[in-house]
Chain A
């Protein structure tokens, strides 16, 4: 280390003032020579507070001003609880389906070569780039009773659009890239040699998958799952066109917020928003815990 080599011999009997000056010199040498810390940090904190933190705090301050019983009545009314059940249930189901097919897609993209692979790879990000309202009306058109897909289910008595199934289908569309892009880099880092070694030692392909591949990618798969789930719980644009929006049946929590705002029920909207914010912060915490766990596991 430079600093250790350059350290002058200790001068125990030196007067106090020069020693302090010397210390200051050393501190300054250790500090970054790059300018602009105060300016950029100040701007960052100011802009972050103005756009994100202060506006978000309004929800909690309003809720706190409500009083506990009023908050419970508004945030956990039977209609609100039914909406949470629809939102969380469909988001979970969609994240689960994406966990399977997103992993499959990531695996195929990382391990195999096939014509059109680059196009497929680019297409995976379509849900990030396509406006949600566009996705919403397109999905509603496809899965309606007379749509390209819906017409095959209609004769069987299965209605896809305007039911929780339709909501789940929309959330599968929205959530796919989260899983693929979370798992992909981990699969890229895993060499195929480990699997080949396991296979040549007589392991069945299914054993290789459950004992070798799955444990290695589990943290990234869980992270992707949590990201897709969190996005699905809050999703609005792609869902409302296909949801049917029947209270207690196919009404999602974000839609209930909008409905209550339109009826000038600010307390109701704020209480539901508070419940949803707490839920998404819990998921955020969970993602951080998963990543800390995975880092710890890698070091072990």
Chain B
């Protein structure tokens, strides 16, 4: 096999991979922005400042503002207990934490309907006390917390396990308190992994569709998140508005990817686990 044909084969493989990426990844992304701007900038802007769209944007931000911090706290706490200590059943616990990734989003919504819906376990009690979870914001938050549950923890567990406990033990033996050790030693060690997990967690929290769709009730202006608003507009054949709201979510995805890449290049942070 001569050098020329090796070079040719290399170019052929690169071209095939790029063609596949262009067809399957770039084309859909471009389609979102093209369709959003089809009727000009004015129609685009009008779709975004419309009251229902603004309500959807506000609700999406609210849901992310509640569920992402919850997952940060849980992720750090879980990673601390799993990575810094030895105990039996550790791998089973990690499997359980990963479980929401293997559950269909629709089933993730369904389980909360079975818990808190009118016919659910706590349905009668909730109705008696006039508390609404399903078809209201608390249900949307719960479903979002479920689908984003593993993001931060699964980023931190391998990272903190690999770093071991020498740094923490040194700090403690020099007289630092547990909290000081965490804030001054552990947190700086894990900051890029944490940021990485938070970026992915936030993207999923703002973009979740299936789970939220089951528990939301689709009340315009009240329980519609941005992805649900996109669906309603699309089903009404209001394509420009649907793609306009979708383009905001696509921008969020692009910003997430850029920040994620910066964490990878600038800080040489490498993921240890593949897939979600």
Give the B-binding residues of A (Cβ under 8 A): 32-37, 40-41, 43-44, 47-48, 51-56, 58-59, 62, 101, 104-105, 107-109, 112, 114, 118, 120-139, 141-142, 147-149, 172-173, 176-178, 181-182, 184-185, 199, 204-205, 220, 223-224, 227-228, 230-231, 233-237, 241, 253-255, 257-258, 261, 264, 266, 269-270, 273, 276-277, 280-281, 283-284, 288
Contact partner of B275 (CB less than 8 A), chosen from A135, A181, A266, is A181
Q: Once the chains are docked, how many angstroms separate the CA of A253 from the CA of B239?
A: 27
Q: Write out the residue numbers on chain A whose beta carbons fall within 8 Å of the beta carbon of B214.
A: 258, 261
Beyond A56-B111, A120-B18, A122-B257, 12 extra complex contacts between A and B, CB < 8 Å = A36-B178, A37-B85, A104-B13, A124-B21, A129-B252, A132-B207, A227-B275, A234-B103, A234-B107, A273-B110, A273-B111, A277-B107
Contact partner of B35 (CB less than 8 A), chosen from A47, A141, A234, is A141
Q: Are A138's CB and B32's CB within 8 A?
A: yes
Q: Are B81's CB and A41's CB within 8 A?
A: yes
Among residues of A, the one whose C-beta sits closest to the C-beta of B178 is: A35
165-179 of chain B: CB within 8 A of chain A: 165, 168-169, 172-173, 178
Among residues of A, the one whose C-beta sits closest to the C-beta of B31 is: A138
Q: Write out the residue numbers on chain A whose beta carbons fall within 8 Å of the beta carbon of B121.
A: 58
Q: Once the chains are docked, how many angstroms separate the CA of A125 from the CA of B246?
A: 18
Q: Write out the residue numbers on chain A whose beta carbons fall within 8 Å of the beta carbon of B169.
A: 32-34
Q: Are B172's CB and A34's CB within 8 A?
A: yes
Q: Once the chains are docked, how many angstroms separate the CA of A237 from the CA of B207?
A: 10
Q: Write out the residue numbers on chain B whose beta carbons fall within 8 Å of the beta carbon of A48.
A: 78, 93, 96-97
231-274 of chain B: CB within 8 A of chain A: 231, 234, 239, 242-243, 246, 249-250, 252-254, 256-258, 260-261, 265, 271, 274
Contact partner of B111 (CB less than 8 A), chosen from A55, A173, A283, is A55
Q: Write out the residue numbers on chain B whose beta carbons fall within 8 Å of the beta carbon of A135.
A: 28
Q: Are A142's CB and B28's CB within 8 A?
A: yes
Among residues of A, the one whose C-beta sits closest to the C-beta of B74 is: A47
Q: Are B275's CB and A177's CB within 8 A?
A: yes
Q: Are B25's CB and A176's CB within 8 A?
A: yes
Q: In the complex where A34-B84, A128-B276, A234-B106 touch, is A114 in contact with B178 (Cβ < 8 A)?
A: no
Which of B40-48, B112-120, B124-132 is found at the contact surface with chain A?
Answer: B112-120
Contact partner of A37 (CB less than 8 A), chosen from B81, B112, B115, is B81
Q: Are A134's CB and B246's CB within 8 A?
A: yes
B144-168: CB near A (< 8 Å → 1, else 0) gives 0110010000000000000001001
Q: Write out the residue numbers on chain B whose beta carbons fall within 8 Å of the beta carbon of A270.
A: 110, 114
Is B187 engaged at the interface, CB distance under 8 Å to the other chain? no
Is B200 engaged at the interface, CB distance under 8 Å to the other chain? yes
Q: Write out the residue numbers on chain A whose beta carbons fall within 8 Å of the beta carbon of B102.
A: 230, 234, 280-281, 283-284
Q: Are A236's CB and B105's CB within 8 A?
A: yes
Is B53 engaged at the interface, CB distance under 8 Å to the other chain? no
How far is the CB of A170 from the nearest CB of chain B, in Å? 10
Q: Once the chains are docked, how many angstroms separate the CA of A175 from the CA of B250?
A: 18
Is B227 engaged at the interface, CB distance under 8 Å to the other chain? yes
Q: Once the chains are docked, how many angstroms separate the CA of A224 from the CA of B273?
A: 11
Q: Are A112's CB and B10's CB within 8 A?
A: yes
Give the A-binding residues of B (Cβ under 8 A): 1, 9-10, 13-14, 16-18, 20-21, 23-29, 31-32, 35, 74, 77-78, 80-82, 84-87, 93, 95-97, 99-100, 102-107, 110-115, 119-121, 142, 145-146, 149, 165, 168-169, 172-173, 178, 181, 200, 203, 206-210, 213-214, 226-228, 230-231, 234, 239, 242-243, 246, 249-250, 252-254, 256-258, 260-261, 265, 271, 274-276
Q: Write out the residue numbers on chain B whose beta carbons fall within 8 Å of the beta carbon of A253.
A: 104
Q: Are B80's CB and A36's CB within 8 A?
A: yes
How far is the CB of B173 from the nearest CB of chain A, in Å? 7
Q: Write out the residue numbers on chain B whose beta carbons fall within 8 Å of the beta carbon of A101.
A: 17, 20
Q: Are B28's CB and A173's CB within 8 A?
A: yes
Q: Once the chains are docked, how many angstroms separate the CA of A229 from the CA of B198?
A: 25
Q: Write out the residue numbers on chain A whose beta carbons fall within 8 Å of the beta carbon of B14.
A: 108, 112, 114
Q: Are A104's CB and B17's CB within 8 A?
A: yes
How far is the CB of A98 from the nearest CB of chain B, in Å? 9
Q: Once the chains are docked, how many angstroms separate the CA of A194 from the CA of B239?
A: 53
Q: Write out the residue numbers on chain B whose beta carbons fall within 8 Å of the beta carbon of A107.
A: 13, 17
Q: Once the chains are docked, how many angstroms separate the CA of A181 from the CA of B273?
A: 8
Q: Write out the residue numbers on chain B whose beta carbons fall within 8 Å of the beta carbon of A43.
A: 74, 77, 81
Q: Once the chains are docked, how many angstroms separate the CA of A172 from the CA of B9?
A: 25
Q: In the complex where A108-B13, A234-B103, A237-B210 touch, is A266 in contact with B119 (Cβ < 8 A)?
A: yes
Q: Write out the residue numbers on chain A whose beta carbons fall within 8 Å of the beta carbon of B81.
A: 36-37, 40-41, 43-44
Q: Are B104's CB and A254's CB within 8 A?
A: yes
Q: Are B230's CB and A59's CB within 8 A?
A: no
Q: Write out the residue numbers on chain A whose beta carbons fall within 8 Å of the beta carbon of B77.
A: 40, 43-44, 47
Q: Are B106's CB and A257's CB within 8 A?
A: yes
26 chain-A/chain-B pairs, Cβ below 8 angstroms = A34-B84, A35-B178, A44-B93, A47-B78, A59-B110, A101-B17, A104-B20, A108-B14, A108-B18, A112-B14, A118-B265, A133-B227, A133-B246, A138-B243, A142-B27, A176-B25, A177-B275, A182-B274, A224-B274, A227-B274, A236-B213, A241-B234, A266-B113, A266-B114, A273-B104, A273-B106
